[in-house]
Amino acid sequence: MSILQKTLLTSFAKRQNLPGSPAACRLCNGKADGLDGVAIDKYGTHCQIQFFSKKFIEHEQELVQILKDTLSPEFIAIKYRYANRTQIKTALGNNPKTVVEENGYKFSVDLLDTLNPGLFLDMRDVRLLFGEMCGGKEVLNLFAYTCSFGVYARKNGALKTVNVDISKKNLNKGKENYALNNLLPLSREFFCGSSEEYVDWAIKKGKKFGAIAIDPPSFAKNGKKTFSVAKDFEPLIAKSVSLLEKEGVLLLATNYSEWNSKTLLKATKNAFAKNGKKFTIIAHGTQGEDFPGTGQSKESSMVWLMLWTWFR
């Protein structure tokens, strides 16, 4: 057995007892699992290998063979994400699309549709916790992507979830995820536009929400405008706080590698102070158990806070 094979089998074994035995999880998280710059993800019958550096490129074929021998996947995608290189290729199979189950809910993924296949694995635990807080509430899901938070909220009894994203394509995938989970979209439940644009409109209309999820990308372009966590997240949090009902729930998350839990908490305190409101932290954390070493590399960095808000 090669050193590489032994390293991967050890990494795979660590994931055997993940809570809920998820069909979709990270099998290898780079340096923390002994393969610096390499991430391997499983989406049910499909797998992807991501290279964030050239360090293990020469072992690409061996990695593919180990996956074939141990998991017998139907499809394998390889993604190169270093030195401004963004390239995707197929190493096995013909159909990059599949449906995976997570905590009893179903989601569509496509391993060849951009670098992100449709479901961020590091948010699995947070989705479940947030969904459980949404019963009987109207929910706002900003930077909705493919609306996984919306699915969790609705399946847990949310009255309605407004999913906001600048990409019509992403929202269409969100509608597909609704259908997979037997959810009937309600009127105006999908808004194609920037999250900042929607929040400004909602403030003018005097709208209120019982729960809000804000999980922005580090950078997002919208025409000539660019949203960045570094300069725009705190102002957006401040505006969003004004939309919360008394005792509303607010989820804040970011994978921006320059921010840690202290940075996020500081921005949150500043945002609440501007609104004359206070909050209690319900829960906080980072990536799930299948992401050891989180925060040690740019490709594995995410922090989140879930808050209970109240008036002075």
**Tens digit of each residue's pLDDT (9 = 90 or more) over 214-225:** 999 998 777 778
**Statement to judge: residues 201 and 283 lie in one domain:** yes
Last residue of a domain, one of 88, 110, 132: 110
Tell me whether residue 75 is in a domain. Answer: yes
Whole-prediction pTM:
0.95
Domain presence at residue 266: yes
Q: Are 270 and 291 in contact (CB under 8 A)?
A: no
Mark whether 155 and 275 lie in a shared domain.
yes
Examine the domain organization and report whether 278 and 130 are in the same domain: yes
Tell me the CB-side half-sphere exposure of residue 164, using CA atoms within 13 A.
21
Same domain, 133 and 211: yes
In a domain, 105, yes or no: yes
Residue-wise pLDDT for 9-43, tens only, equals 999 999 998 988 899 999 999 999 999 999 999 99
Q: Report the CATH number at residue 45.
A: 3.30.750.80
Question: Which pairing describes strands 244-254 and 209-214: parallel, antiparallel, or unpaired?
Answer: parallel
- 115 domain residue, yes or no: no
The verdict on 79 and 154 lying in the same domain is no
Write the pLDDT tens digit of every residue in 49-77.
999 999 999 999 999 999 999 999 999 99
According to DSSP, the residues that pair with 77 across neighbouring strands are 48, 90
Fill in the amino acid letter for 170: N
Domain boundary among 56, 88, 110: 110
Same structural domain, 200 and 303? yes
Looking at the structure, do residues 208 and 81 belong to the same domain, yes or no? no
281 within some domain? yes
Report the pLDDT value the prediction gives residue 310, as an integer from 0 to 100.
65
**Domain of residue 44, residue span:** 3-110
- The reply to whether 105 and 126 lie within a common domain is no
Q: Is the pLDDT of residue 278 over 70?
A: yes
Residue 1's pLDDT band (cuts 50, 70, 90)? confident
Same structural domain for residues 41 and 147?
no
**Residue 106 included in any domain:** yes
Nearest Cα residue to 15 out of 300, 305, 292? 292
Is the residue at 152 inside a domain?
A: yes
Report the CATH number that the domain containing residue 248 is assigned in CATH. Answer: 3.40.50.150
Closest by CA to 78, choosing from 119, 43, 118, 41, is: 41
Number of domains in the chain: 2
Q: Look at residue 211 and tell me if it is in a domain.
A: yes
Q: What angle do CA 291, 227, 266 make, to 5 degrees?
A: 65
Domain finish residue from 80, 110, 140: 110
The verdict on 260 and 127 lying in the same domain is yes
pLDDT, tens digit, 9 for 90 and up, residues 80-139: 998 887 899 999 999 999 999 999 999 999 999 988 999 999 999 999 999 999 999 999
Are 237 and 270 contained in the same domain?
Answer: yes
CA distance 7 to 70: 13
> Within this chain, do residues 82 and 200 fall inside the same structural domain, yes or no?
no
